[in-house]
Amino acid sequence: MASIIEQCQVAPPTCAIDKLTLPLTSFDTLWLFDNQHVPRILFYKLHIDKNSFNQNIIPTLKHSLSLTLKHYLPLAGNIVCPWNSTDYPELRYVTGDSVSVTFSESIDMDFYYLVSNDHTHNVKDFHPFVPKMAEPKDASGVQFAPVLAIQVTLFPNHGISISFLSHHVVGDASTIVGFIKSWALLNKNNENDEFMIPFYDRSIVKDSYGLRDYIWEETKKHKKEIRSDIIVTPCHDNNNIVRGTFTIGRDHIEKLKNLISFRRPSLTHVTSYTVTCGYAWSCLVKSEDAAEIIDENLMEYFGCSVNYRARFDPPLPSSYFGNCIVWYIASTKHVDLVGDEGFMIATESIAEIIYKRNNDKEYVLNGDWLKEVGAVANTGRYVSIAGSPKYDLYEADFGWGKPKKWHFVFSGSGLVMSLSKSKDTDGDLEISLSLSKTRMNAFAAIFADGLSVL
């Protein structure tokens, strides 16, 4: 449990501009339809008592957050959804808007249990430390929904956690991680805000096929469901769901790359990303076979998220604020992944689809990728990967050193894996996922056994 110390609103400084509106692109609008909130939580080892937390940490974090929001105004604003008009949704900040921030104290949770990679964690154990999003407000058929909430929790004499709940419509991992690292840098360096300023010009994101209009019209058809779900945080108790983090070392990654290059010499795009995803996907499918008999002819699907900023013509700046993620779908039969060649076939499938789609811009621009995701997302055989080693939250140093651990706090057993750099060794990668306890045990054994024989 966590006891609330203070609930407050933090606004940008008064010197910020009075109003900023950003129209949603097709890449943003699809997240209104999907209505996904993304929870991230960072843990810092810090020997500090409650008195020091109240007198030093809280005021400093409030001040540095306010200064950071000067450059990230949309995060203090709202999604504006005009359900009953011909207008389009937008992100809107006006003077007076702010971010909800909760400061709390852990009552009975072991800090070191939450940050350890040596065991799995009950997903529900993270829930008290993830903020709740404020309810949306309605005015004449227009809905105003906040996009960000923050919670900072003290674990007395052991550490601090900072958690973020963001609506995906406001930005992808590139945007949110950029904000977190900017806040950390400013908090550490005492008002020295020399970081990459977000790029807000949406006019350079072309939509020649009218995807935004189509997605918005489809979203409005389902607005009752969205209105009832938009405030729900991904925090639902389930004692049977555990989260595990598995490290794959640089040496093992190189052995996997060498193995597939030897067995598939003509395969292009053999990278640390593709072999790690291929290995994790094959282990995951095999873990299901350990518990039940699966039809060997079922198709299995793997969704790779791709940052499309650099692939636009002209390219978008890396600091572009918003969403610019697409998914490429690899597929193969179940029987292929559970056999001795499972890793080979999984990696080959992923590498080939990335190479193919990277050379087919029309596939992205005309929305075919969305249709493909929609066709497989509810099959029960779809696994996706979130995050990337490129978005390194272990670099987010608020002045207390790098995080001891960070988590995506996905709820339930939906098959979403996260991929990030390792906290310990350069070149190592971490894979995290949530599964039932039985299946997690099977996955852990298969994952370890496969690496041991390389």
* Residues labelled catalytic: 168, 397
Give the torsion sign (CA, 387, 388, 390, 394): positive
**Non-local CB neighbours of 354 within 8 Å, separated by 6+ positions:** 269, 274, 304, 306, 328
Q: Which helix (H) or strand (E) holds 34?
A: helix 26-34
Pair 243, 234: CB distance under 8 Å: no
The runs of H, that is alpha helices, within 189-249 are 211-221, 223-229
Residue 320, strand partner residues: 199
Give SS3 for 7.
strand
Query: How far is 13 from 231, CA to CA, in rounded Å?
Result: 27
Q: What is Dmax (Cα atoms) for the chain?
A: 64
Q: Are strands 241-248 and 121-122 parallel, antiparallel or unpaired?
A: antiparallel
Give the torsion sign (CA, 272, 277, 278, 282): positive
Pair 101, 151: CB distance under 8 Å: yes
Q: Is 295 exposed, middle or buried (0-12, 13-18, 19+ CB in 10 A)?
A: exposed
Query: How far is 327 from 253, CA to CA, in rounded Å?
Result: 23
**Non-local CB neighbours of 206 within 8 Å, separated by 6+ positions:** 312, 365
